[in-house]
Chain A
Amino acid sequence: MSEAVRRLVLLGPGLGWLAIFLVLPCAIVFVYSFFERGTYGGIDYIFTLENYARAADPLYLSILLTSARVAVITTVAALVIGYPAAYLIATAPKPWQMPLLILVMLPFWSNYLIRTYAWIVLLNNQGLINYGLQELGVINEPLPMLYNEFAIVVGLLYGYLPFMVLALYSSISRLNREIFEASADLGASSLRTFVRVTVPLTIPGIAAGSVFVFVLSIGNFVTPNLLGGGRSLMVGNLIFDQFLSARDWPFGAALAFVLIGLMMLLLIAQAWAVNRSQRNDAHA
């Protein structure tokens, strides 16, 4: 009994917070998605499924696909860049690990918007990179690096890489180093050890990091606006516009729920991957 009370006291504030500030607003948005748009904003309480039917329109699916493409490219790039970094940190001498991790997290100390503007300074046609390259005579015309999908990926990658590195770090640092020795003793090359031993054992980290980066990227609307110059519309911008300029809360809500559904599927897949790898651990 006292155990149950203790649990309730410890869990209560966290659960209460989530219920009031996450579950409840989401429930309201979910309910809105089944009503009609009021002519002058707000909601007309007439039940309809039209908002979900509209979400399946090729126009909106193509926007979802564009967003997914950008998010996948960002995630893969984050994995390729983040894995070696996380591996290095996790295998560095203990006293070095904390300072290195703090360096990874350092960008979070300043505002995301300001960091995004910094990229505009770097990438624009008169920016530091183009100016430098032109002064050095490497290029004659400025490279188009800003206001396109490349810039969006760069911005998202920069913003969310730390999540990938941290997730991978926690996974890699838990590996028992003796496994590598055993693999080497059994004649595996270091590449073979990496592919057959390290990667499979760090699947939970890879899955967690990838889901973080993908989910954060696909819903982002600030970066496509600022670095993409509004030329590619991502699903985050679409939802933003429905709520703000179109005064179409129900449709915006339906779109948001399609996105949430997609993210839920990914989180379930990630949980499944972690679960499976833990079960394998238990067998080993």
Chain B
Amino acid sequence: MLGWIDTVLQGILLGGLYSLYATGLSVIFGIMRLVNLAHGDLIVLGAFLILAATSAGVPLAVACVAVVPLMFVVGYALQSVLLNRALGRNILPPLLITFGLSIIVQNGLLETFSADTRRLDVGSLQSASLPLGGGIAIGVMPLICLLSAIAVIVSLNGVFYRTAVGRAFRATSDDVEIAQLMGINNRSIYALTMGIALAVCAVAGFFLGARANFDPSIGPARLLYAFEAVIIGGLGSLWGTLAGGIVVGVAQTVGAHIDPEWQILSGHVAFLIVLVIRPRGLFPRAVD
């Protein structure tokens, strides 16, 4: 019994990481109706940027704090220089651009950093854990990761639901044509959206690198987990995305508890089951 409790607890913590992967994707889809196929690779890019900074002698904490705004700027530029040009009634051109971007980022990272697996060194935090009694302990880093995911979602919801700019985001998401009649420049809203999403990618990249090994090729699998978390949670709800991440995380650890070979598979199976039972996800918000 204790073994199962432990498994579920670890799954919830793992879910924190998956929700961090998924939050940026959820924001982009919620506001622009765009599926960013390069999302996973951009998370890996975030991890490599932090790695590059620390290898150059920058302290890890400083590197993390610096890479978040850097990725915001990258996202803002990416949207305003590239993706905004492909906006239109047809959703295919921006989708194809993100597909191409995924390949470019992967190969760019491969060229720059080689195919070696890397890890971010977080020192003694790496193995620190909190005993909960009864032989169950939770890792400090996974806990920080889950709390960070919650903090990111609380702050984003604060922006979206408590500020004038946040209202403009939601109005643009609802009806982009009418939003422009209200004086909202949808292109700059989109650029801000991509900036925010990539800033979250930087946070996710840090926890990706601190938790496990990474190399330039692992982006697409992160995209898949993120995508499943968004769909399970329901489009347009960030708390739903957190729940979706936790569902995937718990399914994976439970699967692994039964048989280690089932870890990845059981996450996907959980996704399919949710799709069959609740096709619109657990907490749908957006209309389409």
A interacts with B: no
Interface residues of A (CB under 8 A from B): none
